[in-house]
Amino acid sequence: MRKNSTTKAEYDGPTINGRPALSVENVQRWIKDAYGDHVFPSQGEAVPIVQALNHCAWLEHQWKGTPEFKQMRRSNPSKKRMKRIHLALTTLQHDLPDLIEDHVKIDPDARTTRLVGVIALLDCANSLAPIFQTYGRRPGREPELWRRIAKNIAPMIVAAVKSAGVKRVGFGKPTSPAVKIMGAALEYLEVSKSPEAIVEAVRDRKKGVGK
């Protein structure tokens, strides 16, 4: 169960995948727990965090690294279709030039007669292939997609804390209150990560890694 203000049995509000949805009050409490009762962010700055995390909770099968979700992504009909299209385009790119060359050896005028459609097909395959290229990569270790979530949430946390009057907010040290808030956000998504891992994930944003 996601960590929230009430137990699942007591909760009768909005749910996501059968679990209590995150609220503005939850986010405000995370910030108060990290900085103290004197730091209370505005609702307006907390709302984007709530919306982003609830959206991630709703689409957890698209990013979670659990075996069942990985298998679900690999078995996705749309993704399989894209892979088949990539394979078909690659086959056309590989075989059509030889087909054209073989016919031209027999009939030099074939380019302007019988092979017009084949040449047009090759041109289309060459133009479309780059669009589907990413679907031809060999399956390997999936990236930790929670890191992308942390990078996207970090600026929202900074804005929310600053709206409460805190001038300096950063993720540079594992002991930073902002890192504690990020930890609570990830725990809501049922992702447990160390402060050191959170710092590394957010720092990737500054280095331009994983964009």
Residue 162 CA to residue 187 CA, distance in Å, equals 23
- What pLDDT score does 63 carry? 79
Res. 120 pLDDT band, cuts 50 70 90: very high
Least confident of 23-32, 33-42, 45-54, 197-206: 197-206
Measured between alpha carbons, how far is 14 from 24 in angstroms, rounded to an integer? 13
Tell me the pLDDT of the chain averaged across its residues. 84
Q: Where are the alpha helices (DSSP H) in 107-194?
A: 116-132, 146-163, 177-188
pLDDT at site 73? 64
103 class by beta-carbon count within 10 Å (0-12 exposed, 13-18 middle, 19+ buried): middle
- Does the pLDDT value for residue 184 go beyond 90? yes
d(CA 84, CA 71): 18
Q: Considering only CA atoms, which of 137, 133, 148, 134 is closest in space to residue 210?
A: 148
Q: What residue ranges do the domains of the chain occupy? A: 15-65+143-207, 76-136
Structure tokens at 72: 């679900």
pLDDT of 141 strictly over 70: no
Which tops the pLDDT comparison, 8 or 160?
A: 160
What's the pTM?
Answer: 0.59
